[in-house]
Structure 1
Amino acid sequence: MRYGDISFFQSGVAVPLFSLYSKQSIGIGEFLDLIPFARWTAFCDFNIIQLLPVNDTGAESSPYSARSAFALNPVFINVQSVEGSSEYEDEIQAGKADFEKYGKIDYYNISTWKRLILRKIFDNRYDDLKKDKVLQRWIDDNTWAKPYCVYCTLKAQNDERSWKDWKNYRDPTEKDIEALWKKFLKDNLFQAWMQFEAEKQFSAAVAEVSKMGVRIKGDIPILINEDSADVWADRKYFSLDDRAGAPPDMFSYTGQNWGFPTYRWDVIEKDNFVWWRRRLAQASKFYHAYRIDHVLGFFRIWSIPQQEVTGILGYFNPCVPLTYDKLAAAGFMRETLEYLRRPNYGFDQLREFLGGDADRLAPVCFTQLEGHPDRLILKPEYSSEKAILGMNEPQEVKDKLLKVYWNRVFVPSGDENNFYPYWYWYNAPVLFTLPDYEQEKLRNLIKENENSQNGLWDANATKLLTVLSQETDMLVCAEDLGAVPPCVPAVLKKLNILSLRIERWARNWNAPYSPYYEMDEYPRLSVCATSCHDTSSLRGLWKEPDFDRNLYWSHAHLPGNAPEEVTPSVARAILSHVFTANSLFCILPVQDYFALSASLSKCAPEEERVNVPGTVGGKNWCYRMPCSVEELMDYSSLASEIRMLVDVRKRRPMWNI
């Protein structure tokens, strides 16, 4: 859907759909809850509601762990609105009462319960549904539906195990899928019917929201789960030898390994990007704008061999490697290069790494280097992070072995003639075993190689993002956080893709004291926010031990010393400052707007956090609003405060870019 012409600065609210609840919803936010929430949104004069992904994640509560790039999550269906639900009214109301007792989102049990209720409704109507021409037309029109439904059916038959662990149908053909569709027609039709109902409710909600003058912004993750219908049925588009992640940074010494397969863009391009085109066409049914999660992955993805656990041994793909020919021309022998890629050790060197454990571990984990009986090298069975971390040893011993394993200048790769520098190559102990002149020569070659990547990444992203940005009329916004290559801002600007500015991270990290950028320095083509689902809320930020409140307070041009807490008056001052941003969009999390109300910010700040990256379970993905969407309308003073912020922003002239 088209966003529409923009003639003034836009303001909005970000909220996970699961965090909403209404008088009708059961335990979790639902598609139809967007309608009453949009009434409040319009009452506040907001232009847009931003959501997290709403794809089917099965038993996983994380919206970024989708088992389909196309299918919606049935947990967001309002079962009372489904035809035939009245037969089960007592059971539905009992379930609603049970889930309301929790006070938080019990995702797994809610999802399981809803699917069971929906199955009862479906079974009761099956004779009519199997002849339903509207449902059949929907299945025919959505080419992803049959593979997805068959995948879900087989997964249920295999006790929800990954398709890699199934005895049969691990590598299906189109004929297999069609045969399986017919063989398990009732179960497959149930999956299709749930998607049909979910799409019907989501579409109806978006239509009503649009009538109020409010737009919906979706979230499209770049990556997809390995255990997904897409990877199962369209295997050719994915590389299962690699996992995507992020390189080390100031927050994580070992980087991140997200566990998602990487794309085989060459194969996708040969098929004219049809899989991505269909994915965006599906999203455009519901969204006026969308956020490309991890847009940096379209420039280059951090690719990690599948046998590794952390992100430390990854490399950017695509990238210009250092070739053997270039290194040989600089005087490096093959034996030296292999030594830098897979170091070998004298026993005294090994003792420096392993200390008192060297005598015990050497015969277990190491073997003699061929042709060099005095040199030791890790055995193949211990040459991966998975193998080392799986050992029956104390963690401190595993950590020592990992340091041995990580000691290299080049990471392993599938091509012996291409060399990819290890992230911490400049500090690797093995580097300092070379003569000084070779160290210097290698440093210069690697630095030169690093500086040669931008042209490739610029061209790669321009090609991919041009196709995707022109495929639909949705407004395209990028999540461009992390280690941003120099070419990124220019490419996004060239393609009219909005970038993202999270205020706490929008700083000049290379300058003394890492000063904040002024709000008027934000690019016009950007979305600004105080926080996001992967950070603490504004109130939570204030309590973080490493957060310099006074530096921030000064950045916001507020008088005196920073207060100890974010009270409503403090929140008002901060949000007034944020709303001066030059960004075209200012979309803040609903929790940070609630900081304007003492009644809606009674909980501990940590309770407002949606997700803590790098952690699983706990309180992740279970944030729930402190009141129902209907009750929000009763907080007239909050809406009045927000309208004042929005009005000042809306009346600002837009010609200063």
Structure 2
Amino acid sequence: MSLEQTAVGRGWKRVGVRHHHGIQVPLLSIWTEQSQGCGEFLDLIPLIDWLSDLGMDVLQLLPLNDSGEDASPYKALSGTALHPIYLSLHALTDEKLTFSESKRVPYWEVLEKKLAFLKKYVADMEKVILEDPSYQAFVERSPHLRYYARYKVKTEGETENFHLIVQYLCHTQLLKVKKHAEKKGVFLKGDIPILLSPKSADVWAHPEFFDLSLQAGSPPTKFDPKGQVWKFPLYNWKAMEENHFEWWRRRIQTAAQYFHLYRIDHIIGFFRIWAIPHGEIADKGFFVPKKEGLMEVQGRKLLETLLSFSDMLPIGEDLGDPPHFIRETMLELGIPGTKILRWSPNIEAYPPASLSTVSTHDLEPSLSQEMVHKSHHTPSLFHINLLQEYLPPELTWGNPEDEVINIPGTENHFNWTYRYKCPLEVLTNDASLNERIKALVRLK
């Protein structure tokens, strides 16, 4: 069976069964001369132009969901609402905010000042926006944002209208980015975390869809001897199925407004999740469901359901050593997996339905140009690496540790606040960098 004939054939038809080359960036980390404190939605437009000029056609982003005061994009307060911190303020005002200068993004300062600006902006513009037919249509087709707005009022104050208007502004800007990407022949790849914060609007509004009696995590392995406690609730899959998986439908279809393909975070978790009793360490956990036969049936049903909700092509994050039936199911459904070169050096064994990458956002970026070159010349049809892995030394901070995005299993102000040393205006106009990337993506 060809990839076009699989369950996600329409996703493959959309992007094309051919080699795709691209980069991965945290939006928070990039910046331009117009940025206010961190990377913003409209900063993606010059980045897209650059990729198109280089012959790359995929831009992969970390999750863009609202995570509130937590800098981790994987601790979302909503499965659908976008993060206000990414709003391009220069599209709204000539006012220029000031922020502390540092290697890392001053996330909490940026968030506080941007929200303060938005409160004033919305107060001044509320009447005009509320009467705008495009805003009214947005609210009408986004009923899920109503409970998000009520949740935000309950936890942060302001009015429902304020939070809905901010979401409308985010939606408008990200939609503009997608349209520009399509004009330039670049595919946007989103990231859908499998789990949500226990403090999220979704858990608050739909507690019946979640199992709060246990918390998700990962079991001890030879690479991670202690395992991890993520502190996220599990899903109540039975209740979700009884509701025809409408919560997932809304989540996937909302993402499809902005992306052409998406990363399924921890795809193994749809088959089985490591459940840990509250107050216990990771090695006290157990898999849910416990029997492999049930795992396989559950995972297949859930993935087939997700695939039916959109024509986005999913790419699974299937790292580790999962039971054989997980990758067999992915292969049958046409869902590419992820291959990390530093962990899986036998690149000739990579299947076409896979993504080759040197690192992840949880690893120290590799400075080996040989590894980066290999990642673009594997049998995989997708070749995507962190942007910092392409940069020459003079465009980086100099210390590899300063190029790290996240240190797994730790909670601190270092994680998720990475900022590129140079603005996009400098990066995209560096002749040596441009030639290096063009050479990498030329056909073998």
Which residue matches 1:591? 388
Which residue, out of 333, 338, 342, partners 1:495? Answer: 333
Which residue, out of 366, 375, 379, partners 1:582? Answer: 379
Answer whether contact 2:103 2:418 (CA < 8 A) is retained: no
The Cα offsets for residues 384-427 of structure 1, whole Å up to 9 and x where unpaired, read as xxxxxxxxxxxxxxxxxxxxxxxxxxxxxxxxxxxxxxxxxxxx
Counterparts of residues 159-558 of structure 1 (less than 5 Å): 187-308=159-280, 310-320=281-291, 453=292, 455-506=293-344, 516=345, 518-539=346-367
In the alignment, residue 109 of structure 2 is paired with which amino acid? N
CA distance in 2, matches of 1:490, 1:200: 39
RMSD of aligned alpha carbons: 1.6
Answer whether contact 1:243 1:260 (CA < 8 A) is retained: yes
* Pairwise CA distance, 1:584: 0.9
The Cα offsets for residues 12-55 of structure 1, whole Å up to 9 and x where unpaired, read as 10111111101111110001000001111112211101100000
* Pairwise CA distance, 1:627: 1.5
Which residue matches 1:386? none
Query: Which segments of 5 or more consecutive residues in structure 1 lack a partner in the other structure?
Result: 158-185, 321-452, 507-515, 540-565, 650-657
SS state at 1:126 partner: helix
Which residue matches 2:437? 642
CA distance in 2, matches of 1:530, 1:124: 48
In the alignment, residue 150 of structure 1 is paired with which amino acid? R
* Pairwise CA distance, 1:468: 0.3
Which residue matches 1:619? 414
CA distance in 2, matches of 1:531, 1:254: 22
Greater relative contact order (Cα < 8 A, sep 6+): 2
* Pairwise CA distance, 1:102: 2.7
Which residue matches 2:5? none
CA distance in 2, matches of 1:33, 1:611: 22
CA distance in 2, matches of 1:127, 1:642: 48
The answer on 1:122 being equivalent to 2:94 is: no
Say if 1:36 and 1:199 are closer, same or farther in 2 by CA, change over 3 A. same
SS state at 2:393 partner: coil
* Pairwise CA distance, 1:642: 1.1
Answer whether contact 2:318 2:337 (CA < 8 A) is retained: yes
SS state at 2:298 partner: helix
After superposing the two structures, state which structure 1 stretch, 124-133 or 13-22, moved more: 124-133
Which residue matches 1:509? none
* Pairwise CA distance, 1:578: 2.6
Which residue matches 1:440? none
* Pairwise CA distance, 1:6: 2.0
Say if 1:269 and 1:26 are closer, same or farther in 2 by CA, change over 3 A. same
* Pairwise CA distance, 1:2: 5.7
> Greater Rg, structure 1 or structure 2?
1
SS state at 1:505 partner: coil
CA distance in 2, matches of 1:262, 1:212: 40
Say if 1:70 and 1:7 are closer, same or farther in 2 by CA, change over 3 A. closer
In the alignment, residue 128 of structure 2 is paired with which amino acid? D
CA distance in 1, matches of 2:376, 2:52: 18
SS state at 1:527 partner: strand
CA distance in 2, matches of 1:24, 1:62: 24
Which residue matches 2:427? 632
Which residue, out of 23, 29, 33, partners 1:13? Answer: 23
CA distance in 1, matches of 2:62, 2:308: 23
Query: Which segments of 5 or more consecutive residues in structure 2 lack a partner in the other structure?
Result: 1-9
CA distance in 1, matches of 2:295, 2:130: 50
* Pairwise CA distance, 1:7: 4.7
Answer whether contact 2:272 2:295 (CA < 8 A) is retained: yes
Answer whether contact 1:17 1:30 (CA < 8 A) is retained: yes
Answer whether contact 1:66 1:225 (CA < 8 A) is retained: yes
SS state at 1:615 partner: coil
In the alignment, residue 28 of structure 1 is paired with which amino acid? C
Answer whether contact 1:220 1:291 (CA < 8 A) is retained: yes
* Pairwise CA distance, 1:520: 1.2
SS state at 1:487 partner: helix
CA distance in 1, matches of 2:38, 2:397: 21
* Pairwise CA distance, 1:577: 2.5
CA distance in 1, matches of 2:194, 2:397: 36
Which residue, out of 16, 32, 42, partners 1:32? Answer: 42
Say if 1:12 and 1:130 are closer, same or farther in 2 by CA, change over 3 A. closer
Which residue, out of 63, 73, 84, partners 1:63? Answer: 73
Percent same amino acid among aligned pairs? Answer: 35
CA distance in 2, matches of 1:76, 1:525: 32
Answer whether contact 1:40 1:632 (CA < 8 A) is retained: no
The Cα offsets for residues 586-642 of structure 1, whole Å up to 9 and x where unpaired, read as 101101111xx2322352011111000001114211111121112223212211121
Answer whether contact 1:520 1:580 (CA < 8 A) is retained: no
CA distance in 2, matches of 1:226, 1:486: 31
Which residue matches 1:106? 106
The Cα offsets for residues 114-166 of structure 1, whole Å up to 9 and x where unpaired, read as 01101101111233334444323211210111100010011024xxxxxxxxx
* Pairwise CA distance, 1:103: 3.9
In the alignment, residue 241 of structure 1 is paired with which amino acid? S
CA distance in 2, matches of 1:254, 1:102: 33
